[in-house]
Amino acid sequence: MKRCPQCGRDYNDPTLSFCLDDGAALLDGPASMDEPRTAILPDAGVTGETPTRTLDPADAEATKLYGDEHGGRAPKTTSRRATIIAGLVGILVVAALGAGVYWIFGRGSSKQIESIAVMPFKNESGDANLEYLSDGMTETLINSLSQVPNLSVKARSLVFRYKGKDLDPKEVASKLGVQTILTGRVIRQGDQLTLSVELIDGETENTIWGHKYDRKGSDLVALQSEVARDVSGKLQSKLSGEDAAKVEKRATTDPEAYQLYLKGRFLWNKRTISSLKQAAEYFQQAIDKDPGYALAYSGLAETYALYMAWSIEKPMDSLPKARTAALRALELDDSLAAPHAAIGVYHIYYDWDRDAGEKELRRAIELDPNYATAHQWLGSEVLPPAKRFDEAIAELKRAEELDPLSPIIGTRLADILFYAGRRDEAIEQYKRTLELDPNFGYAHQQLGLAYGVAGKYPLAISEARHSLELNPDPTGKGFLALWLAKSGSRAEALKLLDELKQEASERYVQSYAFALVYLGLGEKDKALDRLEKEMNEHGLNAQYYGVYAELGELRTEPRFKAMLKRQNLPE
């Protein structure tokens, strides 16, 4: 049995060292040991009367030693000395306990906590519609703790691989390479919100600290700051005022705006056409609630920046909206990195100014060196079109170090290796990415491209079909038609062409998809027409014309050379 000397809570778990409520060092024995006892005093008798007592043999001995001057008792100085000694012993015990706590949590200890993984909080509300809340609180806490100096906090994409799975703390900590993991449970019933968190030692699996927070839903914003402060306090002995302000920073004081933002971010992370559209709506609603909410503007900018890649809107329509939202975010909070990345995408694709795009992306990295997406976009969107392949590969490898399980980063690294002519390495990288995430459609599409360029059409067709099963993207359909036509299956390729035309009458379809089909059918003029249309629309693929291997047979065409020149691309 152990007890907390501060709150009096008893614990039966012998492995616990600290109280789960207040973090105090536990003592041996039940809490009842600390309860005050009733003192047994001699009968006072009549006021002022000296009570009669029996002489103890020890007192008799004392009389021999000290005489009757002190009534057969040792002098008071001796008792005082014993009291002082007892007090010193008590001080030393308290100091030892304090040293123990410092040994665990202090900056100077060998047990200094330098790494943590915030695992996806569990939604125990019994309502799947509240997943946005548990996920959002997790992500917000990851971002807050990332502001703690000298603390490595694992990326969202890494920890969310464990969402919905039973956790073995020791195994998870070992795989993620962290000293501690933080788990949490969220329950929302009406306006009542309960959050329970537990900080676990990854080596011993002992609970270092834990706490339960009961709050009103209207206190959600304040709760996030409180949790971030409490957790950072257990990881570091003391934060400077500036660092503490960063950790506890509140992006909004409006709880409704905050929840709308969490819903938007939850849907943004799903990366589907419908979820991105809904994400934009929620971010806009958050802005309507709080016009000074910088993160909501940043989320809106990031969403619009992805619209062209997901064939939601034409780049000429979506990119200006991304830039406007990003600029507003920076007006409100110039410390944010993501808006700079969104503006970088605008410069790269909208006005073909890769120098300006590179400047913005490097500014994003300067503000947040661990922002993997900025490294990814610098390495995949800015540098390859200019054939700066070594720099591009270095940036993508840095992105991969920061987010080693990201399928898009892994695939884009393979793409750049392929553009650089390192095709065997590229194929191996595609395969490694698919080992981590077999259901990532884009990686199958690009692996099929590598096979198709090598003339391995059956393999290319197989990968392209698999890609479309996982992600029915129009460009993926264009690649399938290309390899079918190249292999002699013109009828199926023409059928896919008709399907693309039908889709284009209902939504935005990248002109590049049509160019691929015509290229496979051997209709070069029609392919060039569609490539020009893609360029005039400032489409996603136009700036890669100089490095796309599938366009190799067009490189000597005067019209194709003119397209490269217009975009300031090397031949």
Mean pLDDT over 39-53 rounds to 36
Q: Which residue has the higher pLDDT, 451 or 78?
A: 451
Q: At residue 60, does pLDDT exceed 60? A: no
Domain limits, CATH 3.40.50.10610, in the chain: 115-250
Q: How far apart are the first and last CA of the chain?
A: 77
The hierarchical CATH code for the domain 439-571 is: 1.25.40.10
The reported pLDDT for the residue numbered 145 is 86
The hierarchical CATH code for the domain 115-250 is: 3.40.50.10610
- The Cα–Cα gap between 18 and 168 comes to 21
Q: At residue 35, does pLDDT exceed 60? A: no
Where do we find the tokens 């990332």? 146
C-beta pairs of 236-242 under 8 Å, 24+ apart in sequence: 236/105, 236/107, 236/113, 236/148, 236/149, 236/151, 237/102, 237/105, 237/106, 237/107, 237/108, 238/107, 239/148, 239/149
Tokens standing for residue 321: 């909206």
How does residue 189 score in pLDDT terms, banded at 50, 70 and 90? confident
What does the pLDDT look like over 474-509, one tens digit per residue? 999 999 999 999 999 999 999 999 999 999 999 999
- The Cα–Cα gap between 69 and 413 comes to 95
Q: What does DSSP say about strands 115-118 and 180-189: parallel, antiparallel, or unpaired?
A: parallel
The reported pLDDT for the residue numbered 100 is 43
Output the CA torsion 414→419→422→425 (10° steps).
10
Contact between 429 and 184 (Cβ < 8 Å): no
* Those residues with Cβ within 8 angstroms of residue 105's Cβ, 6 or more apart along the chain or in another chain: 111, 113, 234, 235, 236, 237
* Those residues with Cβ within 8 angstroms of residue 335's Cβ, 6 or more apart along the chain or in another chain: 367
What does the pLDDT look like over 288-310, one tens digit per residue? 999 999 999 999 999 999 999 88
Q: At residue 460, does pLDDT exceed 90? A: yes
- The Cα–Cα gap between 169 and 216 comes to 30
Q: What does DSSP say about strands 192-201 and 180-189: parallel, antiparallel, or unpaired?
A: antiparallel
Mean pLDDT over 150-179 rounds to 88
Minimum mean pLDDT range among 48-62, 97-111, 432-446, 495-509: 48-62
Residues written for the chain:
571
Q: Which residue has the higher pLDDT, 459 or 269?
A: 459
Burial of 273 (0-12, 13-18, 19+ CB in 10 A): middle
Interior CA angle at 246 toward 142 and 132, to 5°?
35
Minimum mean pLDDT range among 149-158, 177-186, 502-511: 149-158
The reported pLDDT for the residue numbered 273 is 85
Mean pLDDT over 450-470 rounds to 97
The reported pLDDT for the residue numbered 388 is 97
Mean pLDDT over 183-197 rounds to 91
The reported pLDDT for the residue numbered 236 is 63
Q: At residue 464, does pLDDT exceed 80? A: yes
Q: Which residue has the higher pLDDT, 145 or 354?
A: 354
* CA nearest to 378, candidates 403, 401, 354: 354
How does residue 177 score in pLDDT terms, banded at 50, 70 and 90? very high
Minimum mean pLDDT range among 203-207, 339-343, 429-433, 522-526: 203-207
Q: Other CB atoms closer than 10 Å to residue 63's CB: what's the count?
A: 16
The reported pLDDT for the residue numbered 94 is 45
Tokens standing for residue 429: 């990288």
The reported pLDDT for the residue numbered 356 is 97
Q: At residue 331, does pLDDT exceed 70? A: yes
Q: How many CA atoms lie within 13 A of 413 on its CB side?
A: 28
Burial of 459 (0-12, 13-18, 19+ CB in 10 A): middle
The reported pLDDT for the residue numbered 19 is 62
Domain limits, CATH 1.25.40.10, in the chain: 439-571
Minimum mean pLDDT range among 59-73, 191-205, 285-299, 412-426: 59-73
Q: At residue 148, does pLDDT exceed 50? A: yes
Minimum mean pLDDT range among 104-108, 529-533, 549-553, 556-560: 104-108
Q: At residue 65, does pLDDT exceed 60? A: no
- Kindly report the pTM of this predicted structure: 0.74
Tokens standing for residue 229: 């402060």
Burial of 5 (0-12, 13-18, 19+ CB in 10 A): middle
The reported pLDDT for the residue numbered 375 is 96
- The Cα–Cα gap between 439 and 306 comes to 20
The reported pLDDT for the residue numbered 225 is 84
Q: Which residue has the higher pLDDT, 282 or 29?
A: 282
Q: What does DSSP say about strands 122-123 and 27-28: parallel, antiparallel, or unpaired?
A: unpaired
What does the pLDDT look like over 231-271, one tens digit per residue? 888 776 555 566 666 666 677 889 899 999 999 999 988 88
Tokens standing for residue 379: 């390495």
